[in-house]
Structure 1
């Protein structure tokens, strides 16, 4: 077997791999001998089928396997000796399209190798981390929101008309074509107008009613209604209004605090302060991370695999096109061309991706099994009632697991660099942090 270099240009590599006919034949014989003890054939005892018969019966099939194993073995040996790491799956092409048994096998292999990433002095990178303290105004705003969510309803003044947001207590009986239908009746039902709890048009039909009123609300079931026998049909709901109540925010006190699991109001304020400051810290970290990536992009430079940049530019262009054309859900659209701006952004992403991967590998950064399990469980919560199916999907889908792991790995590498870089803290206002976050979103 012979491997001859045919291309060495930047990161591009090309090789001609020759497997002689004798080497290939020896490999075929070796594989047939391995299988011989288990082969059964009419007229011969198990394991006693002669080699010529085996070759005639299985030779063609084994030939392909032997050829592939020989080429794969040559490539593995080459990668080990050269230290090359292909940026993508190497392209392999048979040089002789008219190859026949008894000929040498010549395969042309080409790929781009991953570049050698230079060492970076993280201590020379200077960063600023914003720190925001939760002020009294922000804590009070959060308390007011909680009080609104914990609202009660009190009877409106007698004769008052129901408004959007009010709670109407009523009896109702639904009919289609004059006949009552199953599940279409209830007594003393409390409905908050504007909650969209009922089919479209129903709640709007109760706006303006008063306690003691009787009103028929005419609506139509949606065409995609879950009960097929009602889908698309017109209905009349006979309603008897018993009470109209207006929302009243809960009083901010120890009792309200207990509704949210706190011991008292002081403890709830402490919890809110900690939650707000954790949110601020998360936003500040995102700003500092962008500053770090900008700094790395500026100080680190190395040659990039063209294939990776082109693929990333294509993905960027495709994603942006769909964002600009949200009405097109599938991929049945004209070919999307990449621009210089797409390629510039792609080059940055590829460079930083390779750099962070190299830093993480050298620092032995790893995502633990427990961290992956926690991430999977967090994702599973988005599919209530389907957790089992989700876990099975994750187990069978290595690509999805990689998608979950990649951002976790990146964050760990970023934290590793933060520890080595020069990071100073600066206390700023909530508005300053918000402006910095908005600037990130604009870029």
Structure 2
């Protein structure tokens, strides 16, 4: 077998491999002989199918399979021989035809970059810390009350927090919505489901009220014919309902799985859930901080284009409905951030390798338990992960990233940042 390597880019390699055509023909002959002993064809007894018939019926298929197998095995040998690290399956190009007694093919792929020495001692890391307080638990209980609220119809003017059902039509120039009749809708006033001008129009209204008013629709309104325009809107109030909040008592606790209704047990459960969420959010912030600082410090690192493209594709896919392909412009817009993410991910992997970090099995079990606890049948989720190598691999990678982030924080110039529970849980872009 002859092997040669050509650098066709910073990280792109073109591997040319040649192997004896005789090796190929020998394996084809052996495969056809094997089929002669096992294949069943109408009109022939088992094991008695003539070789010429097998070649005629299956020859092209066998030659294709043998060529594919030989390319796979010789490629593995060649990559190992040349000490290369392809990041994905190579692109193979071959005629498959012998020439001068040899069959040749080329394999084009990207390899892992050569990493610089990674010194984290100069990195300035802000590490957020926070704890769950009694006030946070009270706030969560109030949120749970709001989620379990009911509404009772009232004969008074609407106020913030009330549910209002109404019918409406909007006229902007020659455009009318709906084209005929009225559209029915409903919303809790002040909830943010409607834009403020519409909320304000529905305040202090009673059932059976009918009225017209001018409303300026926001630029991002879902109806493009009304977005950014002022329209005459006709309303009819169908009904007004006021919220009724449940008491936080034993019956309320039972709604959340506390069988004996013990409120102290209920509060402990709420605290445990909040602490689990807080721990995950704190780690996510630390990982983001470490990744950002690593990527900024080593922004010149060459990384495989395929990895950046794949990351940008995944990022863009998160911004379109599930099952739809993101448009090219959305993928292109994600490329700069994807590039930084790939740099950070590769550097964190290199730190784990250089520092010989061993994955913490206890953390794996804890994270898996945390994931499973959010489902109705946690034991089935744990069983699913344990039986799916891909899911388990993803979990292990996340845990290793946690460990790397903590290692960097321990060896960098790290400043503790005291935050409240709400500060931590608030989205980073809020």
Normalising by structure 1, we get a TM-score of: 0.58
Q: Equivalent residue of 1:83, what SS?
A: coil
List aligned pairs for 1:52-91, cutoff 5 A: 54-55=54-55, 58-91=58-91
Q: Helix, strand or coil: the match of 2:343?
A: helix
Secondary structure of the corresponding residue to residue 336 of structure 1:
helix
The alpha carbon displacement at 1:91 in A equals 0.9
- Decide whether the 8 Å contact of 1:129 with 1:288 is kept in 2: yes
Deviations 1:154-201 (A, max 9, x none): 9x9xxx73888999xxxxxxxxxxxxxxxxxxxxxxxxx989xxxxxx
Q: SS of the residue aligned with 1:295?
A: helix
Q: How does 1:262-273 map to 2 (within 5 A)?
A: 265=263, 268-273=266-271
Kept after mapping to 2: 8 A contact 1:313/1:346: yes
Aligned partners of 1:129 and 1:337: how far apart in 2?
32
Question: Separation in 2 of the partners of 1:364 and 1:65?
Answer: 40
Aligned positions of 1:93-242 closer than 5 A: 93-95=93-95, 99=97, 104-118=102-116, 120=118, 127-135=125-133, 137-146=135-144, 161=155
Q: Which residue number corresponds to residue 365 of structure 1?
A: 359
* 1:431–1:376 Cα change, 3 Å: closer
Deviations 1:102-145 (A, max 9, x none): 96422222111122445645666554433334455444444444
- Written as runs of structure 1 = structure 2, the 5 A alignment for 1:333-352 is 335-336=328-329, 339=332, 342-352=334-344
Q: What 5-or-longer segments of structure 2 have no aligned partner? A: 164-185, 189-205, 209-239
Q: Distance in 2 between matches of 1:41 and 1:270?
A: 71
Q: Give the Cα separation in 1 of the matches to 2:41 and 2:263.
A: 85
> Could you tell me how far 1:87 is from its partner in structure 2?
1.9
Matched-pair contact (CA < 8 Å) for 1:92–1:108: yes
Give the Cα separation in 2 of the matches to 1:358 and 1:134: 35
276 and 391 in structure 1: CA distance in 2 versus 1, 3 angstrom threshold: closer
What secondary structure sits across from 1:421 in the alignment? helix
1:305 corresponds in structure 2 to: 304
Q: Is the contact made by 1:86 and 1:111 (CA closer than 8 Å) also made in structure 2?
A: yes
C-alpha displacement of 1:355: 3.2
Structure 1 SS opposite 2:15 = strand
**Partner residue in 2 for 1:221:** none
CA–CA separation in structure 1 for the residues paired with 2:276 and 2:375:
24
Helix, strand or coil at the partner of 2:64 = helix
Deviation digits for residues 362-398 of structure 1, max 9, x if unmatched? Answer: 534388997898688678759xxxx99x999x89x98
2: CA distance between counterparts of 1:296 and 1:135?
A: 33
CA contact (8 A) 1:153 1:245 kept: yes
CA contact (8 A) 2:5 2:14 kept: yes
Question: Equivalents in 1 of 2:382, 2:275: separation in Å?
Answer: 33
CA shift for structure 1 position 77: 0.8
State the match for 1:421 in structure 2.
409
Once residues 335 and 145 of structure 2 are traced to their aligned partners in structure 1, the CA distance between those partners, rounded to angstroms, is 50
Q: 1:276 to 1:377 in 2, by over 3 A?
A: closer
RMSD after superposition: 5.2
Shift of 1:38: 2.6
For the residues of structure 1 that align with 2:125 and 2:30, how far apart are their CA atoms?
A: 62
Cα–Cα, structure 1 residues 85 and 264, in superposed 2: closer, same or farther, change >3 Å?
same
Name which of structure 1's ranges 345-354 and 370-379 shifts more when overlaid on structure 2.
370-379
2: CA distance, partners of 1:317 / 1:153: 40
Distance 1:106 1:135, change over 3 A: closer
Report what 2:198 is aligned to.
Answer: none
Q: Relative to structure 1, is the Cα distance of residues 66 and 124 closer, same or farther in structure 2, using a 3 angstrom cutoff?
A: same
Distance (Å, rounded) in 1 between the aligned partners of 2:252 and 2:151: 15
Structure 2: distance between partners of 1:102 and 1:337: 49
Is 1:295 matched with 2:288? Answer: no
Aligned length: 347
Query: Could you tell me how far 1:27 is from its partner in structure 2?
Result: 1.9
CA contact (8 A) 2:87 2:110 kept: yes
Moved more, 296-305 or 252-261: 252-261
Q: Please name the residue that 1:204 is paired with.
A: none
CA distance in 1, matches of 2:112, 2:350: 11
Counterpart-to-counterpart distance in 2, 1:49 and 1:276 = 71
Kept in 1, the 8 Å contact 2:21–2:98? The answer is no
| Cα deviation, residue 296, structure 1 | 2.1
1:302 positional shift: 3.6
CA contact (8 A) 2:86 2:109 kept: yes
Compared CA separation, residues 56 and 375, structure 1 to 2 (3 A): farther
Structure number, greater radius of gyration: 1
How far the C-alpha of 1:74 sits from its partner, in A, is: 0.9
SS class of match (1:441): coil
Q: Secondary structure at the match of 2:84?
A: coil
Structure 2 partner of 1:27:
27
